[in-house]
């Protein structure tokens, strides 16, 4: 288990079509001592899900955008989540880590995400690189 100095609030943006891969990522992050937020795990019956998602993106230290060919083509709420996260990222100082695009499979990231270095989760060292980035963030704050 990787124990960070403090728990990072991590929001996972994804399309529900990729729910298995994203849930696996959620479970690994939890096991490694991080605090990911995933709608199917965190939303409670009766909550205004749009409000909660918006609030959690704004409260997050890091947003991980889980990219796939399906995400790129999907017109669901994941695109609104991405817009909210991009607005927050634009308000942060240059060079501050907030958005981490991860590719679940080979695909082209959407234009607004191309300025951030991505990690390929399907590569053997992909998860290790993601953890290195998260650790670096924890050490910087």
User: 0.85 cut: is pTM over it?
Assistant: yes
Does residue 47 lie in a domain region? yes
Does residue 59 lie in a domain region? yes
Counting the structural domains of the chain, the total is 1
Does residue 70 lie in a domain region? yes
Residue 6 is predicted with a pLDDT of 63
Q: What is the pLDDT along the chain (141 residues), one digit of tens a residue?
A: 444 456 789 999 999 999 999 999 999 999 999 999 999 999 999 999 999 999 999 999 999 999 999 998 888 899 999 999 999 999 998 888 899 999 999 999 999 999 999 999 999 999 999 999 998 888 776
Does residue 28 lie in a domain region? yes
Residue 138 is predicted with a pLDDT of 80
Does residue 88 lie in a domain region? yes
Closest by Cα among 103, 43, 101, 44 to 70: 103
40: domain range? 9-140
Does residue 101 lie in a domain region? yes
Task: Give 29-32's long-range contacts (Cβ < 8 A, gap of 24+).
Answer: 31/1, 32/1, 32/2, 32/131
Q: What is the CATH number for 103?
A: 3.40.50.10140
Residue 26 is predicted with a pLDDT of 97
Does residue 77 lie in a domain region? yes
φ and ψ at residue 60, rounded to 5 degrees:
-75, 145
Residue 88 is predicted with a pLDDT of 96
Task: Please tell me the distance from the alpha carbon of residue 47 to that of residue 91, in angstroms, as a whole number.
Answer: 28
Task: Please tell me the distance from the alpha carbon of residue 76 to that of residue 72, in angstroms, as a whole number.
Answer: 10
Query: Is 116 in contact with 96 (CB distance < 8 Å)?
Result: no
Does residue 1 lie in a domain region? no
């Amino acid at each position: 288990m990787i124990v960070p100095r403090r728990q990072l609030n991590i929001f996972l943006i994804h399309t529900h079509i990729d729910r298995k891969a994203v849930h696996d990522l959620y479970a690994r992050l939890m096991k490694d001592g991080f605090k990911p937020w995933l709608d199917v795990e965190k939303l409670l019956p009766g909550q205004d899900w749009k409000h909660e998602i918006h609030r959690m993106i704004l409260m997050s230290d890091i947003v991980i955008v889980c990219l796939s060919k399906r995400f790129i083509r999907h017109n669901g709420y994941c695109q609104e989540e991405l817009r909210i996260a991009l607005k927050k990222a634009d308000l942060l100082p240059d060079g501050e880590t907030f958005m981490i695009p991860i590719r679940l499979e080979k695909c082209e990231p959407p234009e607004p995400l191309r300025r951030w270095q991505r990690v390929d989760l399907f590569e053997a060292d992909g998860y290790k690189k993601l953890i290195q980035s998260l650790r670096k963030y924890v050490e910087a704050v």
